[in-house]
Amino acid sequence: MSEQYDVLVCGAGPAGLAATRAAASQGARVGLIDAQPRPGGQVWRHDLRFGTPRSARRAVAAALRGADWLGGASVVAAERGELLLERADGAARVRYARLVLATGARELSLPFPGWTLPGVTGAGGLQALVKQGWPIAGRRVVVAGSGPLLLAVAAGLRRHGARILAIVEQAPAARVRAFAWGLVAAPTAAAQALRLRLALAGVPYRCGEFVQAAHGDGRLQAVTIRTARGRVQRVECEQLAVGFGLVPNVELAQLLGCRLDRSGRHASVATDAGLQTSVPEIYAAGEVRGIGGAAAARLEGRIAGLAACGADAAAGRSARAQRRARRFAARVGRCFSLDARLYTLAEPETIVCRCEDVPFAALAGFGDARAAKLATRCGMGACQGRICGDALAALGRYAQPNAAAPLFPVRLSTLTDIWSESQPVTST
């Protein structure tokens, strides 16, 4: 037997929490699923030393008051109207009348020499690790990549006692300056930027520069930075936190047959203005529709949660603010668009598929991800091509691979559960 919900929400970040609260406010029976054991998603991930911001605590409390919390549950397969979950204590099925996909985004990593060394992490990745106790006090850290996230990460790590040697932003200084001036029209973002700037007093913010290699024997010991003047500078450090933006988690949407927008290098879920996907009972909100930031995610969660309950008029009242938040995100995206040189850092022997240790040179001559996978095992490992697939799509090599069930590696007992039911599990 499986639980039946009027509205099931996948993802407990800002979008999913807002959707849960909105749907529950309409009297719906709501379930909220997340792979993490605690709600909050990435941006509101609980910090075991500093807790979570008040806005996050409120959003979590408001959502959990009116819904069943299904934490620590990965969605591994889907049929129409039903999801199969894997939890630490076994597999479970949940049924839904309406589904809200708020599956968020993951970080984009690009391959460069040395990026597989322990000590090299994502930027948001290191932030997530540190919030859950990763030892960082006194460690020398270079924060690199692109986007406003780097500032938030650097400030967070410094608060935990890290020595931030530099923030290395690939966008040119003139573009970043123009963007900063533009914040005058966005007071909330401007106030946040000012707070971060103060928290990072004394930390060099180096624009138009990038880390081109990481060095070390068994662990990170130094990075080399390509400076704005074209020089190469070596910096000794224990951690490199490097992120090049975010990639929507579209795999579940794809498995459910929702139409994807593939106009960019990374796919996002296509919806109408009411956030309904091409599958009528499924809605999408937040980063999974394309990277829009937490403010847009909260608004879209609210819209999707209400729309899923048929409260279209109430949903419409958030539409203007949502469009404004999306316009701001588009400006961020333009400012921090990536320098083409970042796509050429991998050398022939640089490992691209980290699960199967496939070097960049092995991928020469294959027309698509599937051909490369069959011949080299690229994308065939435990992450199922999420890391290398995103990277190779960014490099313009192959489109992202298609998702298939199970969406994550599962226990054999879960596979038994998938196949023990009479109906087959859908897969694309």
Task: Tell me if 277 contacts another protein by CB under 8 A.
Answer: no
Nearest distance from C-beta of residue 381 to another protein, angstroms: 7
Beta bridge partners of 169: 145, 207
Nearer to another protein, 2 or 376 (CB): 376
Q: Per rule CB under 8 A, is residue 394 in the interface with another protein?
A: no
Instruction: In whole angstroms, give the CA distance from residue 41 to residue 62.
Output: 15
Least gap, CB of 133 to another protein (angstroms): 3
Tell me which DSSP letter residue 71 carries: T
Would you count residue 124 as binding another protein (CB under 8 A)? yes
Q: How far apart are CA 298 and CA 85, in angstroms?
A: 25
Window contacting another protein (CB under 8 A); options: 16-24, 75-83, 106-114, 296-304: 106-114
Q: Where are the alpha helices (DSSP H) in 114-171?
A: 123-131, 149-159
| Residues from 315 through 374 that contact another protein (CB under 8 A) | 351, 354-357
Cβ atoms of 172 and 208 within 8 Å: the answer is yes
Strands of 285-417 (E only): list them.
351-353, 358-359
Residue 65 vs 219, nearer CB to another protein: 219
Closest to another protein by CB, 21 or 45: 45
Give the nearer residue to another protein in terms of CB position, either 39 or 381.
Answer: 381
Return the beta strands (E) in 201-348 as ranges: 205-207, 210-215, 222-226, 232-236, 239-243, 246-248, 260-261, 268-269, 282-284
**Cα 191 to Cα 52, 53, 141, 323, 324, distances in angstroms:** 19, 16, 26, 21, 18
Looking at the Cβ atoms of 148 and 243, the one nearer to another protein is 243
Half-sphere exposure of 74 (CA within 13 A, CB side): 15
Which one, 268 or 271, has the nearer CB to another protein? 268
Q: Which helix (H) or strand (E) holds 195?
A: helix 187-199
| Residue of the chain from 63, 128, 296, 297 that contacts another protein (CB under 8 A) | 128
Yes or no: say if 399 and 261 are a contact pair by the CB < 8 Å rule.
Answer: no
Integer Cα distance of 106 and 119 in angstroms: 19
318 strand-pairing partners: none
Told to check if 120 binds another protein by CB under 8 A, we report yes
Among 61, 65, 132, 330, binds another protein (CB under 8 A): 132
CB of 15 to another protein, least distance (A): 16
Size of the site for another protein (CB under 8 A): 44
Q: How far is the CB of 378 from another protein (least distance, A)?
A: 12
Site string for another protein, 53-72 (x = CB under 8 A): ----x---------------
Q: Based on CB atoms, which residue is closest to another protein, 242 or 405? A: 242
Closest CA relative to residue 58, chosen from 40, 75, 82: 40
Q: Is 143 in the site for another protein (CB under 8 A)?
A: no
**Nearer to another protein (CB atom), residue 138 or residue 280:** 138
Give the shortest CB-173-to-another protein separation in angstroms.
29
400 lines the binding site for another protein (CB under 8 A): no
Asked if residue 401 has a cis previous peptide bond (ω within 30° of 0), the answer is no
Residue type, 306: L
| DSSP conformation letters of 383-405 | TTTHHHHHHHHHTTSSPPPPP-S
Applying the rule CB under 8 A, the residues between 154 and 213 that interact with another protein are none
Residue 218 interacting with another protein (CB under 8 A): yes
By CB under 8 A, tell whether 396 contacts another protein.
Answer: no
387 touches another protein (CB under 8 A): yes
Site residues, another protein (CB under 8 A): 35-37, 42, 46, 48-52, 57, 106-107, 109, 116-122, 124-129, 132-135, 218-219, 351, 354-357, 381-383, 386-387, 409
